[in-house]
């Protein structure tokens, strides 16, 4: 007879959990036969002892089995999704989903909200007047059929065990566990029914994974989980030491995304976006030959990507022509301390400043400001003059500027010599 205390002791002592143990655990937890305190204790044991590949495969399968799965078989196009582990200024999804859709794939993107210094795709899109992110499965399929892409919240029926477990991890200091992170992300992505998945695993000061070794381990774990569950999966490691693009916030990132879809996006943002698009199309079985209708660069140049974005916004109740929210106060800036070259603009500090301006939240239930955020007027490698504004701060409440400027106090570095050319933001590709 299996019981929770026996499983806690087994994992505490470094023993592996059997498939039957794990399946029983999730079924008993769903019935209320395993208390939150007991599940929390087991999560802490996993935090220290880990899960081997078989345990993790079964753990993830049990999370998927805790709810329903989205059936995308009615779609005529091949399906492929993308997931980012989160960063600062990471508005890639807003550009990427319609871009890949305009090249012939269907992109069912289930996204999340921001927490702390990392922004949330749903918060950004909800700054568009009328845009709906809470869709039923039927509505999700309708938008996919109409626009070729959808960006919405995961329904409550998809991997509900993950929602409960994440809430426990959040308050028990067990978030930073590679097997628990991997199973959390992949259970939802597998449950959404996509045939292929590309992961954008961020690494650097503004990312969840600070080192390349950590990021690589997480990427390899998630790729293996996807392949084991018959989802073609590949991961890119990309840098997150500096904000991606120039805009950090909600409405400001939507505006920059539209600029990118019009062909006027910042180089670092476009390099990451196009690299991910190429991998998504490859996994979807679509050959993205240059200057063809399946070429992402051509889809931006001829307006198809922007048209797909506008179609998605309309299909989700939004008005792509409506003015985006503007802040009540825009007159704060961070000046350059000296003449020279900007060599550092720390992503974590910029993300923290955006959060303090009101663009982010400390707790999941906190509201966010659609208009708050920052514009990076200079990026590392740029030559600057003393007193030149480097970052523009936007907020609805002027009291928020003090905390945001304090967060940026040590965020920048200006030197007398030009830095070496910046390396590509794409570090590596992992997977088959």
pLDDT attached to residue 25:
97
Q: What is the mean pLDDT of residues 392-418?
A: 95
What confidence category does residue 338 fall into, taking pLDDT thresholds of 50, 70 and 90?
Answer: very high
Choosing from 315, 345, 375, the residue where a domain stops is: 315
pLDDT attached to residue 2:
84
pLDDT attached to residue 28:
96
Residue 76 forms part of a structural domain: no
pLDDT attached to residue 114:
73
Closest Cα to residue 409, out of 325, 337, 320? 337
Does the pLDDT value for residue 154 go beyond 90?
Answer: no
Residue 21 forms part of a structural domain: yes
Q: What is the mean pLDDT of residues 374-391?
A: 97
Question: Which residues make beta-bridge pairs with 232?
Answer: 196
> Is residue 90 located within the same domain as residue 172?
yes
pLDDT attached to residue 1:
62
> Is residue 357 located within the same domain as residue 396?
yes
pLDDT: which is higher, 116 or 423? 423
What confidence category does residue 361 fall into, taking pLDDT thresholds of 50, 70 and 90?
Answer: confident
Could you say which of 90, 162, 268, 382 is catalytic? 162
Residue 142 forms part of a structural domain: yes
What confidence category does residue 209 fall into, taking pLDDT thresholds of 50, 70 and 90?
Answer: very high
What confidence category does residue 115 fall into, taking pLDDT thresholds of 50, 70 and 90?
Answer: low
Containing domain of residue 255, as a range? 81-315
295 part of the active site: no
> Is residue 265 located within the same domain as residue 403?
no
pLDDT: which is higher, 176 or 35? 35
8 Å CB contact between 45 and 59: no
Could you say which of 169, 202, 232, 234 is catalytic? 169
184 part of the active site: yes
Could you say which of 83, 91, 113, 310 is catalytic? 83
Mean pLDDT of the chain: 94
> Is residue 376 located within the same domain as residue 232?
no
Q: What is the DSSP string of 185-232?
A: HHHHHHHTT-SEEEEEEEESTTSSB-SHHHHHHHHHHHHHHHHHTT-E
Choosing from 315, 350, 381, the residue where a domain stops is: 315
pLDDT attached to residue 116:
64
229 part of the active site: no
Could you say which of 11, 57, 117, 188 is catalytic? 188
Reported as a single tens digit per residue, the pLDDT across 117-147 is 777 899 999 999 999 999 999 999 999 999 9
- Give the rounded percent of residues in the chain with a pLDDT score beyond 70: 99
The Cα–Cα gap between 286 and 259 comes to: 26
Q: What is the CATH number of the domain that holds 37?
A: 1.20.970.10
Residue 423 forms part of a structural domain: no
Q: What is the CATH number of the domain that holds 368?
A: 3.90.1170.30
3-state helix, strand, coil in the chain (%, to 5): 40, 15, 40
188 part of the active site: yes
Report the predicted TM-score, pTM, of the whole model to 2 decimal places.
0.94
C-alpha angle 158/318/331, rounded to 5°? 110
> Is residue 337 located within the same domain as residue 215?
no
Choosing from 256, 280, 315, the residue where a domain stops is: 315
Residue 38 forms part of a structural domain: yes
The Cα–Cα gap between 49 and 16 comes to: 9
Q: What is the mean pLDDT of residues 249-274?
A: 97
> Is residue 95 located within the same domain as residue 193?
yes
Q: What is the CATH number of the domain that holds 91?
A: 3.40.1030.10
Q: How many domains does the chain have?
A: 3
Sheet holding 340-345, edge to edge: 383-384, 340-345, 412-415
Residue 409 forms part of a structural domain: yes
What confidence category does residue 330 fall into, taking pLDDT thresholds of 50, 70 and 90?
Answer: confident
Residue 148 forms part of a structural domain: yes
> Is residue 20 located within the same domain as residue 128?
no
Closest Cα to residue 66, out of 156, 142, 198? 156
124 part of the active site: no
8 Å CB contact between 65 and 161: no
Residue 63 forms part of a structural domain: no
């Amino acid at each position: 007879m299996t019981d929770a205390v026996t499983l806690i002791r087994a994992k505490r002592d470094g023993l592996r959990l059997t498939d039957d143990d794990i399946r029983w655990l999730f079924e008993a937890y769903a019935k209320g036969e395993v208390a939150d305190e007991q599940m929390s204790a087991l999560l802490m044991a996993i935090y220290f002892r880990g899960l081997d590949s078989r345990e993790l495969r079964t753990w993830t399968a049990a999370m998927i089995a805790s709810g329903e799965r989205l059936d995308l078989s009615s779609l005529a196009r091949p399906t492929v999704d993308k997931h980012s582990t989160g960063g600062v200024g990471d508005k890639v999804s807003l550009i990427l989903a319609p871009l890949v859709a305009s090249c012939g794939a269907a992109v069912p993107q289930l996204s999340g909200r921001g927490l702390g210094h990392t922004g949330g795709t749903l918060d950004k899109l909800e700054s568009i007047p009328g845009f709906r992110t809470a869709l039923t499965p039927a509505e999700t399929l309708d938008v996919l059929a109409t626009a070729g892409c959808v960006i919405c919240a995961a329904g409550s029926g998809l991997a509900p065990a993950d929602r409960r477990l994440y809430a426990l991890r959040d308050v028990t200091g067990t978030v930073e566990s590679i097997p628990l992170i991997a199973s959390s992300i992949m259970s939802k992505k597998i449950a959404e029914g996509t045939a292929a998945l590309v992961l954008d695993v961020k690494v650097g000061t503004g990312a969840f994974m600070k080192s390349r070794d950590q990021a690589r381990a997480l990427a390899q774990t998630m790729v293996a989980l996807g392949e084991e569950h018959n989802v073609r999966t590949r991961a890119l490691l990309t840098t997150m030491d500096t904000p991606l693009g120039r805009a950090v916030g909600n409405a400001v990132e939507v505006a920059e995304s539209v600029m990118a879809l019009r062909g006027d996006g910042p180089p670092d943002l476009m390099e990451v976006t196009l690299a991910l698009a190429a991998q998504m199309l490859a996994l979807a079985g679509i050959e993205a030959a240059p200057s063809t209708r399946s070429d992402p660069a051509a889809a931006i140049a001829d307006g198809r990507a922007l048209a797909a974005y506008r179609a998605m916004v309309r299909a989700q109740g939004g008005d792509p022509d409506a003015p985006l929210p503007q802040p009540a106060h825009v007159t704060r800036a961070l000046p350059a301390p000296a003449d020279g070259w900007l060599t550092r603009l720390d992503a974590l500090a910029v993300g923290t400043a955006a959060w303090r301006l009101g663009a982010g939240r400390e707790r999941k239930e906190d509201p966010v400001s659609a208009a708050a955020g920052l514009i990076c007027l200079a990026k590392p490698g740029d030559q600057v003059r003393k007193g030149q504004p480097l970052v523009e701060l936007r907020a609805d409440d002027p009291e928020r500027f003090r905390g945001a400027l304090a967060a940026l106090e040590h965020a920048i570095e200006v030197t007398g010599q030009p830095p070496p050319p910046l390396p590509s933001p794409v570090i590596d590709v992992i997977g088959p």
